[in-house]
Copies of this chain bind each other. A is one copy, B any other.
């Protein structure tokens, strides 16, 4: 087996407690997660926020990995300090260097089990395609969104987010824990197959590519003036037809979708995105070929 070390992060957001609980139980019961021989370094992303049951203390840790923030010595937000610390410990040049990162998240939206990839790095997409071929997970390709930057996984040579939902913040749910466990195992199994030289890559894979986000209608003070229409709640991954109800005003009036091309909504009514002015994101389905050189790039990284 290679010298590959996979950083497995949970609790990047301190109110997403199912991943941290899984890691905690795993430390006591090693059989819980079959690593398939892959070296795994588990870590809690934001232990201070987790202890308080809050998403973050000063700012979102999963937007704190922007290079300008990391390079600035004057920014003292606790999450930026923590981002630097995680990199100095576990970054590719850290004291315990990891080449690949898996970052565990949960959501109040009905995303099921989803892989999230940031940008179009060949190694990320090769790994996601390999996992999709094994477990059928959808891939949300978050790309070209200038408003959302500084994600943790971007600072490692290869990295994926696993998003599981729906689950309220701060609540343990057995099904969510089990879905998280299965997704982690699928990632490690895929990496193990690469390390042992026997990966079964698909010829092509499906991504849902980020088009943009919609916000709730807001009042003059910037507060939500309508809410997600009940017929849309929980309908992540189902194409949005022109005229479909989007938002419901208090007086019963309905705000409808006026766009074309039936985009596919994701992260519908994620609690933490209200402050980011995102009521849902829209995606389009793309079938992508998987070039051999992407497979080679992942092989090279795993064989480090």
Chain A positions near chain B (C-beta within 8 angstroms): 21-22, 24-26, 28-29, 31-32, 54, 108, 166-175, 177, 216, 223-224, 227-230, 233, 248, 250-251, 269, 271-272, 274
User: Mind listing 10 A-B residue pairs with CB under 8 Å?
Assistant: A24-B223, A29-B251, A54-B54, A108-B168, A168-B168, A168-B169, A169-B170, A170-B274, A172-B224, A172-B228
A224: nearest chain-B partner, CB-CB = B172
Contact B174 A248 (CB under 8 A): yes
Contact B173 A233 (CB under 8 A): yes
Contact B173 A227 (CB under 8 A): yes
Contact B25 A250 (CB under 8 A): yes
Contact B173 A269 (CB under 8 A): yes
Contact B271 A170 (CB under 8 A): yes
Contact B175 A233 (CB under 8 A): yes
Q: Could you say which residues of chain B place their CB within 8 Å of the CB of A248? A: 174
Contact B24 A172 (CB under 8 A): no
The 9 A-B pairs with the shortest beta carbon distances in the complex, nearest first, are: A168-B168, A25-B250, A171-B271, A174-B230, A172-B227, A108-B168, A170-B271, A174-B227, A174-B248
Contact A224 B21 (CB under 8 A): yes
Chain B nearest CB, measured from A185 CB (Å) = 14
Please measure, in the bound complex, the distance between the C-alpha atom of A250 and the C-alpha atom of B180, giving whole angstroms.
13
Tell whether A227 pairs with B108 under 8 Å between CB atoms, given A171-B269, A250-B29, A271-B171.
Answer: no
| A167, A233, A271, A274 — most chain B CB neighbours (10 Å) | A271
Contact B169 A271 (CB under 8 A): yes
| A167, A170, A251 — most chain B CB neighbours (10 Å) | A170
Please measure, in the bound complex, the distance between the C-alpha atom of A248 and the C-alpha atom of B175, giving whole angstroms.
10
Q: Could you say which residues of chain B place their CB within 8 Å of the CB of A223? A: 24
Chain B nearest CB, measured from A15 CB (Å) = 9
Please measure, in the bound complex, the distance between the C-alpha atom of A88 and the C-alpha atom of B28, giving whole angstroms.
52
Q: Could you say which residues of chain B place their CB within 8 Å of the CB of A274? A: 170-172
Contact A250 B32 (CB under 8 A): yes
Contact A177 B227 (CB under 8 A): yes
Q: Could you say which residues of chain B place their CB within 8 Å of the CB of A171? A: 108, 168, 269, 271, 274
Which one of B108, B169, B251 contacts A32 once the chains associate, using CB atoms below 8 Å?
B251
Chain B nearest CB, measured from A25 CB (Å) = 4
Q: Could you say which residues of chain B place their CB within 8 Å of the CB of A177? A: 227, 250
Q: Could you say which residues of chain B place their CB within 8 Å of the CB of A169? A: 168-170, 271
Please measure, in the bound complex, the distance between the C-alpha atom of A250 and the C-alpha atom of B24, giving whole angstroms.
10
A175: nearest chain-B partner, CB-CB = B230
Chain B nearest CB, measured from A30 CB (Å) = 11
Tell whether A174 pairs with B229 under 8 Å between CB atoms, given A108-B168, A168-B169, A271-B169.
Answer: yes
